């Protein structure tokens, strides 16, 4: 179709982006006209930078709302200057991505829930116990990835 390359993105992505903008919390909720004009930019930029229209993007766009005079202008600038999405945090112990917690008295770096709930004792000298620990870590990693 002639002129298709001028379209900023698939129409349903733009519609989803417009809906996403209209659902931003106050004081970020744009006027419908503003949402309509920003939606194609958001759809294109978010796709290019690896963001989904979800809570992480909402948090990124609505961060630090205090001291801002014009939220629409800041929202527009943030959409246009959207950085690449940071890679998901990984467990400091087993390397699994997912929701991480800070385990008390263990590692200062965040670990996944299975690693936090299983106390990491000194490695056993018993080969059978070592194999069991490895199997358990692999299972924990699979569990975390499935989430």
Task: Note the residues at the interface with Zn ion (CB under 5 A).
Answer: 91, 93-94, 96, 111-112, 115
Give 23 or 130: the residue with its C-beta nearer to Zn ion. 130
Quick count: other Cβ atoms within 10 Å of Cβ 116? 19
Q: At closest approach, how far in Å is the CB of 122 from Zn ion?
A: 18
Q: Which is nearer to Zn ion, 53 or 111 (CB)?
A: 111
Q: Cβ closer to Zn ion: 75 or 111?
A: 111
CA–CA gap between residue 79 and residue 53 (Å, rounded): 12
- When the beta carbons of 82 and 91 are compared against Zn ion, the nearer one is 91
The least CB distance from residue 44 to Zn ion, in Å, is 36
DSSP one-letter string for 80-100: HTPPPPPPPPB-TTT--BS-E
Place of tokens 């209209």: 22
97 strand-pairing partners: 90
Contact 64, 72 (CB under 8 A): no
Q: CB 120 → Zn ion: shortest distance, Å? A: 10
Minimum distance between the CB of residue 118 and Zn ion, rounded to whole angstroms? 9
């Amino acid at each position: 179709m002639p002129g298709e390359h001028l379209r900023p993105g698939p129409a349903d992505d733009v519609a989803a982006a417009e809906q996403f903008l209209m659902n931003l919390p106050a004081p970020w909720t744009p006027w419908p006209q503003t949402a309509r004009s920003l939606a194609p930019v958001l759809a294109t930029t978010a796709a290019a930078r690896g963001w989904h229209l979800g809570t992480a993007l909402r948090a990124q766009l609505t961060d630090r709302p205090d001291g801002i005079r014009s939220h629409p202008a800041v929202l527009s600038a943030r959409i246009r200057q959207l950085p690449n999405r940071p890679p998901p945090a990984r467990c400091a112990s087993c390397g699994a991505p997912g929701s991480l917690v800070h385990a008390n008295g263990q590692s200062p770096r965040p670990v996944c829930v299975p690693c936090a709930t299983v106390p990491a004792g000194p490695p056993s000298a018993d080969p059978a116990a070592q194999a069991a620990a490895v199997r358990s870590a692999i299972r924990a990693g699979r569990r975390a990835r499935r989430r």
